[in-house]
Amino acid sequence: MGNRGIYRVDGFDLSYDIEGAGTPILVIGSAVYYPRLFSAEIKQKYKWIFIDHRGFAKPARTLQPEDQRLDRVLKDIETMRQALQLEDFVIMGHSGHAFMAAEYARIYPEHVRKVVLLNTAPDNSENRQRKSEAFFENTASPERRSRYEKEITKLAGDIEKDPERRFVHMCIRSAAKNFYNDRSDAAALWDGVSVNMPIMDYLWGKAFAELHLIQMLADVQVPVFIGLGRYDYVVAPVSLWDAVDDSYPHVKKVVFEKSGHNPMLEEPQAFEQSLADWIENKKRPQS
């Protein structure tokens, strides 16, 4: 089997991209987008398996209401795991996909060694989103807020021209909330990424709003790594995770001080070191 391919699962063509060797890490999301976020060095250190979920796949049949449900997405992941013959692996979810990773580990725990949750808030409720927006308005620099306002005014035109990629356009125009420093290549990261908007709307708008990751941690029986960016205004502030303290001995929480929503891209060395120490269970001396 080659490093890239497609499996048709329940009428959706789900792509996969496998790179590196070593401990397998299953990354949930887009098999086109997510490989671009990780450095060549860390992709050589482990066996990375990037897979689509159906929110990033065009269906080969007419969509049905039940296609949007999170349990269907989780079943797809399990089907892909079986097809790719993965056992004893780390599952990773970034942003909204952290909800998928945690829920998969809860429902299908048999082969999950560890769980990595990156750059997510504990919940995606409207109340939390309002708090994140207020935090941005009250604490972001005037220059950052100006960049955001300048770009977000262009969003309506983007969507009018290309409504099927509304999710992508929102991510690109929100770069001032996503990155610690301004990045000219934000749009290039999304080149060639397909989006299934009815499914994305349901997952982000309803399914994730009904979950709470801190509550879910009690049901995840394996070690959990939570990685956060200090300047990640998408899911800010990091203090939303303050409740995860020493009373959660199976959880390792790391805040990357010069990162926004993508520390693997913005602080690759610090990210690699922190993740590697945790995966390999290394204790670093206290400074």
- Candidates 67, 174, 232, 259; catalytic one: 232
Complete DSSP assignment for 216-260: HHTT--S-EEEEEETT-TTS--GGGGTT-STT-TTEEEEEETT-S
Quote the pTM value. Answer: 0.95
30: annotated active-site residue = no
Query: What integer pLDDT is reported at residue 285 of this predicted model?
Result: 45
Q: Which stretches of the chain drop beneath a pLDDT of 70? A: 1-2, 282-287
Q: Where are the domains of the chain?
A: 4-128+195-279
Task: Write b or e for each residue in 134-155: b if 16 or more Cβ atoms lie within 10 A of its Cβ, otherwise e.
Answer: ebbeeebeeebbebbeebeeee
Query: What integer pLDDT is reported at residue 185 of this predicted model?
Result: 82
- Candidates 52, 53, 261, 274; catalytic one: 261
Query: What integer pLDDT is reported at residue 183 of this predicted model?
Result: 84
39: annotated active-site residue = no
261: annotated active-site residue = yes
Query: What integer pLDDT is reported at residue 283 of this predicted model?
Result: 59
CATH 3.40.640.10 correct for 4-128+195-279:
no
- Candidates 95, 132, 259, 274; catalytic one: 95
